[in-house]
Amino acid sequence: MRKGQNRFVAGFLLAPVALYLIFVIWPYIQTFGYSLTDWKGQSQTFSFIGLDNYTALFEDDIFLQAIWHNILFLVFIPVITILLALFFAFMLNAGGRGRAGGVSGVAGSGFYKIVYFFPQVLSLAILAVLFGAVYRSDSGGMVNGLLMKLGLVDESAPVEWLNEPNMVLWALILVVVWHGVGFYLVLFSAAMQAIPRDIYEAALIDGAGRAHTFFRITLPLLWDSVQTAWVYLGIAAMDMFILVSTMTAGEYGGGPDHHSEVMATVMMRNFLLYGRSGYACAMGVVMLLLTLIVSVVMLRATRRERVEF
Amino acid sequence: MGSTTAEHDHGPEGADTTHPEGVGRRDLIKRSAALGLITVPTMSFLSACASGGGGDDTSEDSQGKTSESNPFGVKKGSKLDVVIFKGGYGDAYAKAWEAAFQKKWGVTSTHTGTQEITGKLQPRFNAGNPPDIVDDSGAQQIPIDVLYKNDQLLDLAAVLDAPSVDDPAKKVRDTLIPGTLDAGMQEDKIVALNYIYTVWGLWYSGKLFKENGWEEPKTWADFLTICKEAKAKDIGGLAHQGKYPYYINVAIMDLIAKTGGLDAMKAIDNLDPKAFVGSDAAKAGVEAIYEVVEKGYLMPGTNGLTHTESQTRWNQYKAVFITSGSWLENEQLKQTPDDFDMKFMPMPLLPDSVMPFEAIRAGSGEPFIIPAKAKNLPAAKEFMRMMLSKEWSTLFAKEANSLTILKDGVDAGVQLRPGTQSTVEASKAAGDNTFRYLYTEWYSEMDTAIQNASNELMAKRIQPAEWLKRAQAAVDKQAKDPESKKNRRD
């Protein structure tokens, strides 16, 4: 019987493990293999060139610039998104004026919660089109149109939001933050609601204000959720392919003049447009390594003693 | 994962030989687990494109007897796999062709109309299982130079040297508009048939011109005067498709070619160390465009617009001129007002130009290719031969509203739209004074770098001198690539 049971379990495990190895792990290994060749991407003829692709990578100014942009995203996207989400979640759940019982959101918080979640419903592709219209570089763009109506921008010289080297990254960050805040707000809200009310009541009785309540009680008890959010946003910041490639100028985006380039767009251009697929695979391997490092570092850096309640 | 999956998993290369003959009658779970193990590697082996080549079973069963009327030996009852880029021209024309092909040869075709050429075809090329004939165009085109370097393209000489359908005494090659084959050339071989006759230049609205009493500007000074008058009326002078600097490069490069002549153009295509820096024509051309920027004659915001956005603004009379190719009219059909009266004109002349005003960039676009590993080569070749018949060329003109590279390829009865009509007149006026850059087909990377520089120039972030330097750097970089030496034009 027991023998049969083992076989039963093994039967179930083998297939998924095999699937995982073949469809997840094997492509990684293959990519690494290709990254050591001069594969051009349209046939199976290539030769082994060792680490040449990798040495070339570190002299490729465009790719290095792209890494730098990813790092900027990595710094700003998680920080801004989490801070905003935390602030809103706190106001919605515990930010109300101290009424009886003491712990409630600001007036109308149920409604806000739903509205804040709206952006999350949109896919990134729709988002790119939507914000394309918002940032449009002539009087037909939402922001430009508005600024022109207010007389802040001259009609003959509209702001080309996505075509300005100094603005394009911020314009993109704003989209991601706009998209993400709602989701993390709901995530944090759920976590906040799990915090026993007695703790808040006790704090109130001791005379703690909003700020104290937040920093001394809410944040420490939310730490696990914040950590999760951090890693997720970090990974998203390492990608950014969809937004950059659809919203900015040039083939697979990255414009103007590589000022919004991210690793994924450089990789795609090399892979498909230039026919330097082996080189692109090397970029893919570097991306994988960097993303792994980022995840590990973020998990380590945010590790704290867990508060049990 | 049922057993059916395994049984039907016959890969295109018949690589399912790893399947055991039978799994044996054991318990269900064990069987499905085992099947999972066997099937999955097989599938991944195919899809992960690690299996290489294959596909050696090609022409054997699709090769029929050749005869005078059937020079390639199309076999009745065989199948043809056609993939068409479904862009500005749609794919209705191809369906009409395929119907005609089936009627004549009894060859049924599988039709795929798509915009995702790379996404759909790259895996198939890699697996050695490409379609039989492909319209490799659009934003997701697989670059011809890349396909060629991988030996994936059939040398089309056999098709071009075959007798023409309309006049068997002539070779197909001799029924085409001169020079239109060049764009499909890699290392002296024609490997892509650029089927659509295209001219590039400036476009304007006949109505707007009439209202303002303007005439087609023949010199750059006249051009600037019109821009100036337009600006006074709050109309932009020149619009361009800023998000895709390909278009403004047409204007810059055409000015260079017309000023410096074919030598200036070939210097760029042949990666001359003085293609840009040290070339007077290049200097004059880029400075002329920059003058438009500097004097504020660009349509406001045009630098950040996509092609459809800026073209639509132009259709709304927000700008006088726009640069584009002859697909513009078809692309803008819905946005063009009925009385717009779309007109094409050559780039105006700079002082001391070598070429006359009538000279235009003309040639062909929309590359059709036959993959070297196509399963049904005879039918694919015959299909391409028939594309270059008057009957099919007229079908195309009717369905896609554009001309083909076949000389006089449209029946007189077909009424052309005003824009297309004006391109016909312009190319008649140009006669032999046509030119066509090839670096865009030969060197994607250099093209991208020059496009980026142009984007900076139009946004006033760099000056002409810097543009020349950057364009030259792109040329020099390309020249260092050992593979670049093979492409040369005289």
Summarised one tens digit per residue, pLDDT across range B397-456 is 888 878 899 988 888 777 888 998 898 889 889 988 999 999 988 898 999 999 999 999
pLDDT of residue B490: 80
| Crossing angle for the helix pair B92-105 and B377-387, to the nearest 10 degrees | 120
- As a whole number, mean pLDDT of residues A97-126 equals 75
**What is the band of B16 on the pLDDT scale with cuts at 50, 70, 90?**
very low
| pLDDT reading at B85 higher than 90 | yes
- As a whole number, mean pLDDT of residues B276-304 equals 95
| pLDDT reading at B25 higher than 70 | no
**What is the band of B149 on the pLDDT scale with cuts at 50, 70, 90?**
confident
pLDDT of residue A209: 78
Quick: pLDDT tens for B38-68. 444 444 443 343 334 444 444 456 787 888 7
Inform me whether the C-beta atom of residue A15 falls under 8 Å from chain B C-beta atoms.
yes
Q: Which of B40, B128, B304 has the CB atom closest to A18's CB atom? A: B40
Residue B66 CA to residue B376 CA, distance in Å, equals: 14
Contact A26 B313 (CB under 8 A): no
Counting one residue from A and one from B, how many pairs have CB atoms under 8 Å apart? 155
| pLDDT reading at A176 higher than 90 | yes
Lowest mean pLDDT among A101-110, B221-230, B264-273: A101-110
3-state class (DSSP) for residue A97: coil
Chain B positions in Cβ-Cβ contact with residue A162 (cut-off 8 Å): 304
Inform me whether the C-beta atom of residue A161 falls under 8 Å from chain B C-beta atoms.
yes
- As a whole number, mean pLDDT of residues A237-259 equals 90
Q: Which of B52, B445, B459 has the CB atom closest to A163's CB atom? A: B459
Quick: pLDDT tens for A135-159. 999 888 999 999 999 999 888 889 9
Chain B positions in Cβ-Cβ contact with residue A43 (cut-off 8 Å): 125-126, 128, 150-152
Inform me whether the C-beta atom of residue B40 falls under 8 Å from chain A C-beta atoms.
yes
**What is the band of A1 on the pLDDT scale with cuts at 50, 70, 90?**
low
pLDDT of residue B32: 45
- As a whole number, mean pLDDT of residues A174-199 equals 89
Strand partners, B269: none
pLDDT of residue B239: 96
Q: Which of B140, B146, B243 has the CB atom closest to A42's CB atom? A: B146
Higher local confidence (pLDDT), B124 or B482: B124
- The answer to whether residues B236 and B299 touch, using CB atoms and an 8 Å cutoff, is yes
Inform me whether the C-beta atom of residue A14 falls under 8 Å from chain B C-beta atoms.
yes
pLDDT of residue A46: 84
pLDDT of residue A103: 61
Residue of B nearest to A138 (CA): B301
**What is the band of B34 on the pLDDT scale with cuts at 50, 70, 90?**
very low
Residue of A nearest to B121 (CA): A42
Residue B161 CA to residue B164 CA, distance in Å, equals: 9
Inform me whether the C-beta atom of residue B48 falls under 8 Å from chain A C-beta atoms.
yes
Residue A80 CA to residue A184 CA, distance in Å, equals: 12
Higher local confidence (pLDDT), B6 or B204: B204
| pLDDT reading at B154 higher than 80 | yes
CA B326 to chain A, closest CA, distance in angstroms equals 22
Contact A11 B444 (CB under 8 A): no
Q: Which of A26, A155, A257 has the CB atom closest to B452's CB atom? A: A257
CA A79 to chain B, closest CA, distance in angstroms equals 29
Inform me whether the C-beta atom of residue A41 falls under 8 Å from chain B C-beta atoms.
yes
| pLDDT reading at B10 higher than 70 | no
Lowest mean pLDDT among A55-59, B6-10, B451-455: B6-10
Quick: pLDDT tens for A59-85. 999 999 999 999 999 999 999 999 999
**What is the band of A130 on the pLDDT scale with cuts at 50, 70, 90?**
very high
**What is the band of A97 on the pLDDT scale with cuts at 50, 70, 90?**
low
| pLDDT reading at B29 higher than 50 | no
**What is the band of A206 on the pLDDT scale with cuts at 50, 70, 90?**
confident
Which is nearest to B255 in space by CA: B276, B228, B273? B276
Residue of B nearest to A9 (CA): B29
pLDDT of residue A95: 66
**What is the band of A295 on the pLDDT scale with cuts at 50, 70, 90?**
confident
Chain B positions in Cβ-Cβ contact with residue A140 (cut-off 8 Å): 301, 309, 313
Terminal CA-to-CA distance of chain B, rounded, Å?
60
Inform me whether the C-beta atom of residue B125 falls under 8 Å from chain A C-beta atoms.
yes
Inform me whether the C-beta atom of residue A253 falls under 8 Å from chain B C-beta atoms.
no
Chain B positions in Cβ-Cβ contact with residue A163 (cut-off 8 Å): 242, 303-304, 455, 459
- As a whole number, mean pLDDT of residues B107-132 equals 90
CA A45 to chain B, closest CA, distance in angstroms equals 7
Lowest mean pLDDT among A17-26, A108-117, B220-229, B235-244: A108-117
Inform me whether the C-beta atom of residue A162 falls under 8 Å from chain B C-beta atoms.
yes
- Mean pLDDT across chain B, nearest whole number? 85
Residue of B nearest to A255 (CA): B452
Inform me whether the C-beta atom of residue B296 falls under 8 Å from chain A C-beta atoms.
yes
| pLDDT reading at B105 higher than 60 | yes
Chain B positions in Cβ-Cβ contact with residue A44 (cut-off 8 Å): 49, 52-53, 126, 128
- As a whole number, mean pLDDT of residues B175-199 equals 89
DSSP A48: B
Contact B40 A19 (CB under 8 A): yes
Residue of A nearest to B148 (CA): A42
pTM of the full predicted structure? 0.81
HEC letters along chain B: CCHHHHHCCCCCCCCHHHCCCCCCCCCHHHHHHHHHHHHHHHHHHHHCCCCCCCCCCCHHHCECCCCCCCCCCECCCCEEEEEEECCCCCCHHHHHHHHHHHHHHCCEEEEEEECCHHHHHHHHHHCCCCCCEEECCCCCCCCHHHHHHCCCECCCHHHHHCECCCCCCCEHHHHECCCCCHHHEECCEECCEEEEEEEEEEEEEHHHHHHHCCCCCCEHHHHHHHHHHHHHCCCEEEECCCCCCHHHHHHHHHHHHHHHHHHHHHHHHCCCCCCCCCCHHHHHHHHHHHHHHHCCCECCCHHHCCHHHHHHHHHCCCEEEEEEECCHHHHCCCCCCCCCCEEEECCCECCCCCCCCCCEEEEEEEEEECECCCCCHHHHHHHHHHHCCHHHHHHHHHHHCCCECECCCCCCCCCCCHHHHHHHHHHHHHCCCEECCCHHHHCHHHHHHHHHHHHHHHCCCCCHHHHHHHHHHHHHHHHHCHHHHHCCCC
**What is the band of A307 on the pLDDT scale with cuts at 50, 70, 90?**
low
Which is nearest to B377 in space by CA: B55, B35, B24? B55
Question: What are B279's two structure tokens?
Answer: 């070339």
Chain B positions in Cβ-Cβ contact with residue A12 (cut-off 8 Å): 29, 33
Q: Within the 450-479 window of chain B, which residues sit less than 8 Å (CB to CB) from chain A?
A: 451-453, 455-456, 459, 461
**What is the band of B257 on the pLDDT scale with cuts at 50, 70, 90?**
very high
Inform me whether the C-beta atom of residue B5 falls under 8 Å from chain A C-beta atoms.
no
Inform me whether the C-beta atom of residue A251 falls under 8 Å from chain B C-beta atoms.
yes
CA A177 to chain B, closest CA, distance in angstroms equals 23
- Using only C-alpha atoms, chain A has a radius of gyration, in whole angstroms, of 24
| Chosen from A29, A30, A138, A260 to mutate, greatest number of chain B CBs within 10 A | A138
Quick: pLDDT tens for A10-26. 888 888 899 999 999 99
